[in-house]
Structure 1
Amino acid sequence: MTESTLTAPFRYDVVGSLLRPTALKQAHAQLAAGDITAEAALRVQQTEIKHIVDEQVKLGLHAVTDGEFSRSWWHLDFLWGLTGVGKYDYHQSYKFKGDHTRTDNAELVGKVAFNPDHPFFKAFSYLQSIVPDGVLAKQTIPSPSMLFRDNRSDNWHQFYDSWDAYLDDLAKAYHETILHFYDLGCRYIQLDDTTWAFLISKLNDDQLSTADHDHYLQVAQDAVTVINALLADLPSDLTVTTHICRGNFKSTYLFSGSYDVVADYLGQLHYDGLFLEYDNQRAGGFDVLDRIWNGDAHKRIVLGLVTSKFPELEASDHLIARIHEAATKVPLANLALSTQCGFASTEEGNQLTEANQWAKLQLVIDTANKVWPEA
């Protein structure tokens, strides 16, 4: 096997979520209405997962996901599965540009801890059972920093004597969760994170008070502390990456701004790779990539140059030129290519077809093979 087939993140890689097929959406709606049993809905779900795994393998991806078909939200379903985290109606939606989401949210209902019966474990076990030899089953979960935001930790003082004690428990819960995924056979896991884009939007606000500026810098430092703590002492053959997301709902977005204000924090993270959104000017330029990479010969920066929001295909020559532009800041050997995000961070999905989705992934693969022939 070549070097690239052994090392994740791969030269061409998949972010995570895929468009939910009509049959899956119907089954979930029927289950919610009480028209079919959970067992019947699961059969449909697993059938559709098998189909999209086969499609990813057929394309030639070295790592595949289950499309996140077993969840409705990219982040909340996982958070609700942790011990000490509950579900409630926030009565406010996430205000995407031109659209609004459902009003579900998560809150602390006790001390945060690893849950050995987390439903994501069963979902991964099924994925692992259908992935062929030579292909990795990639698991995606939200970053623990997602519990810092949107009022999710407001009542921490009801359960902890200090904020640091809460962060310690959160890091431990994630560390033990990741180890359990490893025990189930997982060797590639990704922590998706909109916190950094949220901080970019706040720290670039000229009207921000000094107190609020200091608060957001502390959020950034807390994120680094918790993430590096959960990553410590994991098995050496486990790859852990992150995807820095700017919001992805029905082809809209939440946040804009250059990575500059958080680049030094991102450079401190002990991930094996960072998936960065760079599909349009909202992300700024490549001038800060060297600070994010931080000279780590082991780390790969995965450039999200192909948009997952719209069906139009980018020109491969343009993508190649942008990759070589990025290589003036980070060695080409430490770069890779992906779409900027998944195709359905929530079950609603982006405004493109499944055929468009596969064409986008094919473009990623074909372009990467031109830049890195060994891929």
Structure 2
Amino acid sequence: MASDSPHDPPFRADHVGSLLRPPQLLKARNDRAAGKISAEELRAVEDSSIREVVAFQEGIGLQSITDGEYRREIFYSDFYFRGLGGGTVAYDPASIDEVYFIDREGHKLPLLVPRVQARMRWHAPIHVDDFKFLRAATSGTPKITIPSPTIIHFRAGRQNISTDAYPDIDLFWDDIVDAFQRELKVLADAGCRYVQIDETTLASLSDRRVWEPLRKRGDDAHTLLLETYPEVMNRAFARRPATLHLAMHICRGNNQSHWSAEGGYDLVADTLFNKIDVDSYFLEYDTPRAGTFEPLRLVPKDKTVVLGLVSSKFPELESKDSLKRRIDEASKFIGLDQLSISPQCGFASTAPGNRISAADQRAKLKLVVEVASEVWGS
């Protein structure tokens, strides 16, 4: 179902979605958690903050506009736990010995681990109201981001998915697939034509360091990587309307300037580009942890790739010359016309955000727009 008209969307200058929360929004969320303000008062602060961040994106020349994920604590929690129900998520200190988030100074954070206690089922539209609000606030192309169908299983493992709720794991997958099929349809019916799937499992499984912890819990990483997860994704995306452009962002973890995996796309490239039914890809390429551009040779001609060359984790601003050299290097393996540029990830996959300033964020997004204009024209 890959699109015949690349770059509209994604655009030559694009971005992954989440943006730094302003102080007033963080305060309002904390006040709501403490019972100091009502849900309606929090919603009003969210609405105002989203209008401001939409104007920010439009002001620097972006055509793809998101709500910054300002209504979310964690990039996937609203879809799964507010939307589908049936579970909770919390940091697991025990995970820090084997799998963890790490920053460039070597400091570690434990992983967030979901626990599923009941059926996770789609009951009503989850992000349609968010889309409608965003569409009314922008003259650009509104983009909705939703998490991958595989995130809960990968992070939870069978031991954290209740056997009372799901005596057969196939029933769990059926519920997840049904939820994605329904949500993509209602988004398209509401007029949404640009959805981005935030996919963290394939890049994590490309890091052989995580294979042993998976084996200990009873999972074969190779099977998950090349068979189980791609099959689930294709089932989840299979019935989406033809009007909906589906992009997939491949992420190695993004939490307060920490990451959780490293390794190139080599292990998964053929499956990712040729066997998973999406229209375009946002690929992290900001550090050597992402490997080389060589796997891009496997991208079919009717699909597009957004090169995540600008770091959303670190404040240092990349030079235009270095970015142009990287684009030129990538174009040795894939046509230049199939390429775009973006930051490598969102700026705030979790509410606290990465360790950069609002001025850094602005400079990096402005740099993306300027480089795209100079490489591909307006």
Could you tell me how far apart the structure 2 residues matched to 1:302 and 1:113 are? 32
CA deviations over 1:248-297 (Å, ceiling 9, x no partner): 11212111111111212212111111111000111111111122x1x2x2
- Cα-to-partner distance string for 1:20-40 (whole Å, 9 max, x where unaligned): 111111111111111111111
Query: Could you give the per-residue CA deviations for residues 42-64 of structure 1, whole angstroms, max 9, x where no partner exists?
Result: 11111111001011111121110
Ranges of 4+ aligned residues in structure 1 off by more than 6 Å? 3-6, 207-214
**Relative to structure 1, is the Cα distance of residues 82 and 9 closer, same or farther in structure 2, using a 3 angstrom cutoff?**
same
2:132: which partner in 1? 125
- Name which of 312, 325, 328 aligns with 1:321: 325
Q: Which residue of 1 aligns with 2:66?
A: 65
Q: Residue 51 of structure 1 aligns with which residue?
A: 52
Q: Check if 1:231 corresponds to 2:237.
A: yes
Contact 1:84 1:109 in 2 (8 A): no
Q: Name the residue aligned to 1:111.
A: 119
Classify the secondary structure of the residue corresponding to 1:158: coil
State the Cα distance separating 1:11 from its structure 2 match. 0.9
Asked if the contact 2:181–2:239 (Cα under 8 Å) also holds between the matched residues in 1, the reply is no
Check whether the contact 2:250–2:281 (CA below 8 A) recurs between aligned residues.
yes
1:81-122 alpha-carbon deviations (Å, 9 max, x no partner)? 343532154643772111426x7643333333222053x333
User: Aligned partners of 1:209 and 1:351: how far apart in 2?
Assistant: 30
In structure 2, C-alpha distance between the alignment counterparts of 1:306 and 1:100, rounded to whole Å: 23
Name structure 2 gaps, 5 residues minimum: none
Matched, 1:100 2:88: no
Specify the code of the residue in structure 2 equivalent to 1:52: V
2:309 matched residue in structure 1: 305
SS at match of 2:294: coil
Partner residue, 1:335: 339
In structure 2, what residue type is equivalent to 1:128? R
Task: Assess if the C-alpha contact under 8 Å between 1:87 and 1:104 holds in 2.
Answer: no
Is 1:351 paired with 2:352? Answer: no
Once the two structures are TM-superposed, the CA of residue 75 in structure 1 deviates from its matched residue by 1.4
- Indicate if the aligned counterparts of 2:324 and 2:375 stay in contact, CA closer than 8 A: yes
- For residue 27 of structure 1, what is the aligned residue in structure 2? 28
**Given residue 42 of structure 1, which amino acid in structure 2 is its aligned partner?**
R
SS in 1 for 2:234: helix
How far did residue 160 of structure 1 move? 4.3
* Secondary structure, aligned partner of 2:182: helix
Aligned mates of 2:264, 2:125 — CA distance in 1: 40
Contact 2:6 2:302 in 1 (8 A): no
1:371 aligns with 2:375: yes
In structure 2, distance between residues paired with 1:204 and 1:331: 33
Give matches, 1:270-285, under 5 Å. 270-285=277-292
> 1:237, 1:88 → 2: CA distance?
34
Question: Does structure 2 retain, via aligned residues, the 8 Å contact 1:241–1:274?
Answer: yes
Question: CA 1:235/1:38 → structure 2, altered by over 3 Å: closer, same or farther?
Answer: same
The question of whether the paired residues in 1 share the 8 Å contact of 2:263 and 2:291 is answered with yes
Deviation (angstroms), 1:355: 1.2
Question: What is the count of residue pairs matched by the alignment?
Answer: 364
Whole-Å Cα distance in 1 between the matches of residues 157 and 67 of structure 2? 27
Does the aligned pair in 2 maintain the 1:302–1:335 contact within 8 Å?
A: yes
- 1:182-261 to structure 2, matched below 5 A, reads 182-202=188-208, 215-220=220-225, 221-261=227-267
Relative to structure 1, is the Cα distance of residues 104 and 131 closer, same or farther in structure 2, using a 3 angstrom cutoff? same
Match of 1:263 in 2: 269
Q: Is the 8 A contact 1:193 1:243 kept in 2?
A: yes
Q: Does 1:288 find its partner at 2:307?
A: no
TM superposition shift of 1:159:
3.6
Alpha-carbon contact 1:107-1:153 (below 8 Å) kept: no
Structure 1, gaps ≥5 residues long: none
Q: 1:150 maps to which residue?
A: 155
Aligned equivalents of 2:114 and 2:78: distance in 1?
9
Contact 1:247–1:253 under 8 Å retained in 2: yes
| Whole-angstrom CA distance in 1 between matches of 2:280 and 2:6 | 15
Contact map agreement 2:116 2:162 (CA 8 A) in 1: yes
Residues 126-150 of structure 1, C-alpha deviation per residue, up to 9 Å, x if partnerless? 1122112xx1110011101102212
Aligned-pair identity in percent equals 37
2:124, 2:75 → 1: CA distance? 20
The one-letter code of the counterpart of 2:175 is: D
